[in-house]
Amino acid sequence: MTIFAAATAGPAAARIRGYSMALWAVGVLAIGAIIGLTAFSVAVVPGGDSVYAWESDNPLAATTTDGGTTWSAEDSAYIEVPASLGDAPLVITLTAGGPYATVGLSGPGATTADGYPPLVAVLTIDKDGVPVASTPGSRLWVTSELSSGAEGPWTVTLTPLPVTDLDDGETAGSGNVDLRYSGSATTATLTQTGTGLLAVEVITPTTEPEVLTAVDTSTLTVAWSPGESVVLRIRSESTTASWTVTVGSAAAGAGE
* Residues 67, 13 within the same domain: no
* Residues 135, 88 within the same domain: yes
* Residues 16, 93 within the same domain: no
Instruction: Tell me which DSSP letter residue 54 carries.
Output: G
Global pTM value: 0.73
β pairing state of 164-166 and 177-181 = parallel
* Residues 92, 125 within the same domain: yes
Q: Which residues contact 77 (CB under 8 A, 6 or more apart)?
A: 53, 59, 60, 61, 62, 141, 142
The answer to the question of residue 183 being in a domain is yes
10 Å CB burial of residue 58 (0-12, 13-18, 19+) is exposed
The answer to the question of residue 73 being in a domain is yes
The answer to the question of residue 249 being in a domain is yes
* Residues 130, 171 within the same domain: no
d(CA 2, CA 178): 12
81: nearest Cα among 35, 142, 128, 125: 142
Q: Which domain holds residue 11?
A: 2-35+162-255
Q: So what's the pLDDT on residue 29?
A: 39
Instruction: Tell me which DSSP letter residue 82 carries.
Output: -
Q: Which residues contact 72 (CB under 8 A, 6 or more apart)?
A: 62, 63, 64, 96, 153, 154, 155, 156
* Residues 166, 229 within the same domain: yes
* Domain C-terminal end among 129, 160, 191: 160
* Residues 62, 156 within the same domain: yes
22: nearest Cα among 196, 222, 178, 189: 196
* Domain C-terminal end among 105, 135, 160: 160
The answer to the question of residue 47 being in a domain is no
Distance between first and last Cα of the chain: 27
d(CA 10, CA 122): 32
The answer to the question of residue 13 being in a domain is yes
* Residues 145, 68 within the same domain: yes
* Residues 64, 156 within the same domain: yes
The answer to the question of residue 84 being in a domain is yes
Q: So what's the pLDDT on residue 207?
A: 86
CATH number of the domain bearing residue 76 = 2.60.120
* Residues 155, 234 within the same domain: no
Q: For 249, phi and psi rounded to 5 degrees? A: -60, -30
The answer to the question of residue 108 being in a domain is yes
* Residues 98, 193 within the same domain: no
* Residues 173, 232 within the same domain: yes
* Domain C-terminal end among 107, 136, 160: 160
The answer to the question of residue 100 being in a domain is yes
Average pLDDT per consecutive 10 residues, the chain (256 residues; last block may be shorter): 39 33 38 34 37 84 95 94 88 91 85 74 92 90 72 90 94 96 95 95 90 94 92 93 87 49
Count of domains in the chain? Answer: 2
